[in-house]
Amino acid sequence: MATFLYKLGRLAFRRRHFVALIWVALLTLAGVGAASAPPAGTTSFSIPGTEAQKAFDLLEQRFPGQSADGATARVVFKAPSGEKMTDAGNKATVEKTVDELADGSEVASVADPYTGKAVSKDGTIAYASVRYDVSGMELEESTKHALEDAAEQARDAGLTVEVGGDALQAVPETGATEIIGIAVAAVVLVITFGSLVAAGLPLLTALIGVGIGVSSITALASALELGSTTSILAMMIGLAVGIDYALFIVSRYRAELAEGREREDAAGRAVGTAGSAVVFAGLTVVIALVGLAVVNIPMLTKMGIAAAGTVAIAVLIALTLIPALLGYAGRRVKPAGAKGGLLGRRRRDGKDGAEKAGAEKAGAEKETGPAKANLGTRWASFVVRRPLAVLLLGVIGLGAAAIPASDLELGLPDDGSQPTSTTQRRAYDLLSEGFGPGFNGPLLVVVDAKGSDAPKDAFTQVSDEIKGLDGVVAVTPPAPNKGGDTATISVIPDSKPSSVQTEDLVHAIRDAGGDIKADTGAETLVTGSTAMNIDVSEKLNDALLPYLVLVVGLAFLLLIVVFRSILVPLKAALGFLLSVMAALGAVVAVFQWGWLSGLMGVEETGPVMSMMPIFMVGVVFGLAMDYEVFLVTRMREAYVHGEKPGQAVVTGFKHGARVVTAAAVIMMAVFAGFIGSNEAMVKMIGFGLAIAVLFDAFVVRMAIVPAVLALLGKKAWWLPKWLDRALPNVDVEGEGLRTADERGSGPDEDRELVRT
């Protein structure tokens, strides 16, 4: 692989105009596609194999024309202090508002509070239910404005009016902190490279890759029913890995220049060595993201595949566009360690030959003495001397951070998790005040009596059975369809939608349905947004272990090929489990317990988003393997070329620690930038990934990994001979390139190598 990528890097360097033109054309094509694509339509949130989805599909079939997936709104009214909603003036205002809402072109129905018994017992709060023909994402802006205007007119009449439901659903925004994250990345790159040009290359290529990826998602959003969160996730991961991959190749390019190589050869060798690590690191991320398909939740599958596509684009850009741009940059990208002295005055385009560069380097060392050991070298030397102490400290620290994860509660966000500044949250609170917390998450029971001899009796029996269950506040009379074979029953719990008590009630209704089916032949199904959220959480929990086995297993096999070792990949996987558990513990502490919630902008604590554990497992594993591959391949490279195991660890840190540190800080900054989002899901993902990178890069990869390798010694690189013969030689260390070097090949011979 190293030889192929070496050829690719030199080809891109020489044919830079052609390579740059291709990527600019792709960016333009994606941009035009995004601009001309129809707006994204409805995002179907189907959960195959769940009871809630089965009931939803049954409603579509048995109650045609009722727009079961249509948007809903609850316009909640509260009377001024000392008044009631039944007072003549307040009642007239509400009825006028209902009439205005009913005139909307996309409105399917509006329920009057006074005829629908939607006034609280104390008479201070009432609500009007509005149902639309289309989903919240498909509503025309004029319809949303009409809803807001009607509420505002009622406010002008003296009532407190708030609007809940998904009719006013907005596209998530990431906030200005995303820009701050990119700015932090730029500063770190400048400090790392000491050059604006060298620092600008990773940023430029990452933005091009993200531009192509996000524009492509936008262009395909309508056809593939991709939600707005999909593009945000792709942007988040694409920016992080795009900058990191380019950073590693540019850094290796500067190191090759410092060895005295001409620029075209240095670009080829950078792509052949660091590029090999990029390919395998990218593969682990892609495996982790595409592996989300095993959960069998279409929305999650689409998110994973879209993000994986953006990662693949980042890898291709790093292998082709980076060497092309290095060709344009010329001498403005200096060798590693060069600040403008002897090493900074490089030969022009290699005309003076590698011998002169080597002489300059030797002369510089003679004048200044041996280079001072960098921080990475000093740290690695300390770890190699005290491996057991470092290992224990790292494991105990991550174990302590993971303790809150034992209290993990999962759920999906509803209006109760919205900021208190939003009208949806205020409507949620008003409904809880007037009708009880369970009113915000009613359960919809669907009774399928097609196989029953007495459907009406079955409907009545189900209703009576539910009334006798604990935790039920109200049960509406059965509402049969035209055929009389199916009925719906609304159940109001006495607990809020995301509570354990509501989950227990859902299971109790389903358990009772089993006995009813045995007696009457009618099947009882529970659906609605609350039941759907409960089913999603359970489905994600059930899929976590198979997903973990699949992703870690595939990546483990991949890393065996890369490192030609059994223990190194095993250590990488165990270290990942430590970091992801610690990160989950931090998420629980902030978003569930409320620690530092004010600093993070978390206005409402509650259950952790259901998909967070499985999502973190996938993404963090891929990113963790990035650092493992980049850092340990340098150690492997040194060991293969004759260094002792302990010294190989130090050499790996000497060349890789600064770059891995910079990459981790950049990735943390990019992820942390999404904490400013107004969407709870995006905020939680941003924080979780940022803290996971902190734990994995600086505790696991920088401390635990070198400590374990120092303790294992030569055993770390052990591989059974039969397996060594069976595995393909991917040559991540660039051994083939070094062998050609050792034969004394100069620039002409290198060019001949490229031709062959």
Count of helices and strands (H, E) across the chain: 26, 11
Asked whether 209 and 313 are in contact (CB, 8 A), the reply is yes
Task: Report residue 171's pLDDT band, with 50, 70 and 90 as the boundaries.
Answer: low
pLDDT > 80? residue 373: no
**What would the two tokens of residue 131 be?**
């149902």
Asked whether 3 and 731 are in contact (CB, 8 A), the reply is yes
- The distance from CA 134 to its chain's CA centroid, rounded to whole angstroms, is 29
Query: Of 69, 36, 76, which Cα lies nearest the Cα of 53?
Result: 69
Q: What is the C-alpha to C-alpha distance for residues 196 and 201, in angstroms, rounded to an integer?
A: 9
Q: What is the C-alpha to C-alpha distance for residues 555 and 574, in angstroms, rounded to an integer?
A: 12
Distances, alpha carbon 471 to alpha carbons 41, 148, 474, 488, 496, in Å: 38, 35, 10, 19, 11
The pLDDT, as a whole number, for residue 14 is 92
Query: Of 468, 510, 473, which Cα lies nearest the Cα of 493?
Result: 473
Asked whether 179 and 149 are in contact (CB, 8 A), the reply is no
- Per DSSP, the three-state class of 394 is helix
* pLDDT tens for each residue of 276-303: 888 888 888 888 888 888 888 887 888 8
pLDDT > 70? residue 737: no
Please state which of the ranges 22-36, 129-143, 716-730 shows the lowest mean pLDDT. 129-143
**What would the two tokens of residue 333 be?**
């990208």
Please state which of the ranges 359-373, 414-428, 725-739 shows the lowest mean pLDDT. 359-373
Residues with Cβ within 8 Å of residue 55, at least 6 apart in sequence: 444, 446, 525, 526, 527, 531
The pLDDT, as a whole number, for residue 388 is 94
The pLDDT, as a whole number, for residue 642 is 80
Asked whether 404 and 593 are in contact (CB, 8 A), the reply is yes
The pLDDT, as a whole number, for residue 45 is 59
Q: Quick one: what percent of the chain has pLDDT higher than 70?
A: 87
Residues with Cβ within 8 Å of residue 742, at least 6 apart in sequence: none
Q: What is the C-alpha to C-alpha distance for residues 16 and 10, in angstroms, rounded to an integer?
A: 10
719-731: b or e for each residue (b if 16 or more CB lie within 10 Å)? beeeeeeeeeeeb
Mean pLDDT, the chain, as a whole number? Answer: 82
Asked whether 685 and 200 are in contact (CB, 8 A), the reply is no
* pLDDT tens for each residue of 217-240: 888 877 776 766 678 778 878 888
Task: Report residue 422's pLDDT band, with 50, 70 and 90 as the boundaries.
Answer: confident
- The secondary structure element, H or E, covering residue 95 is helix 88-102
**What would you measure as the largest C-alpha separation in the chain, in angstroms?**
100
> How many C-beta neighbours within 10 Å does residue 235 have?
21
Please state which of the ranges 22-26, 294-298, 626-630 shows the lowest mean pLDDT. 626-630
Sign of the torsion angle spanned by Cα atoms 367, 370, 376, 382? negative
* CA torsion, ordered 457, 461, 462, 468, to nearest 10 deg: 160
**What would the two tokens of residue 207 be?**
């933005």
* pLDDT tens for each residue of 111-163: 888 887 788 989 999 999 888 887 666 678 888 888 889 999 999 999 999 99
Query: Of 672, 704, 702, which Cα lies nearest the Cα of 685?
Result: 672
539-550: b or e for each residue (b if 16 or more CB lie within 10 Å)? bbeebeeebbeb
**What would the two tokens of residue 304 be?**
């994973």
Please state which of the ranges 32-36, 74-78, 595-599 shows the lowest mean pLDDT. 595-599
Q: ∠ at Cα 197 (194, 202), nearest 5°?
A: 95
742-752: b or e for each residue (b if 16 or more CB lie within 10 Å)? eeebeeeebee
Q: Which residue has the tokens 């689409």?
A: 302
Q: What is the C-alpha to C-alpha distance for residues 209 and 188, in angstroms, rounded to an integer?
A: 20
Task: Report residue 319's pLDDT band, with 50, 70 and 90 as the boundaries.
Answer: very high
Please state which of the ranges 161-175, 241-255, 648-662, 705-719 shows the lowest mean pLDDT. 161-175
Residues with Cβ within 8 Å of residue 225, at least 6 apart in sequence: 40, 41, 42, 43, 44, 302
For the purposes of burial, counting CB atoms within 10 Å of the CB of 294, is it exposed (0-12), middle (13-18) or buried (19 or more)? middle
pTM: 0.76
Query: Of 476, 495, 475, 479, which Cα lies nearest the Cα of 487?
Result: 479
The pLDDT, as a whole number, for residue 752 is 37
Between 135 and 652, name the one with better pLDDT.
652
Q: What is the C-alpha to C-alpha distance for residues 406 and 401, in angstroms, rounded to an integer?
A: 11
**What would the two tokens of residue 692 be?**
């996971």
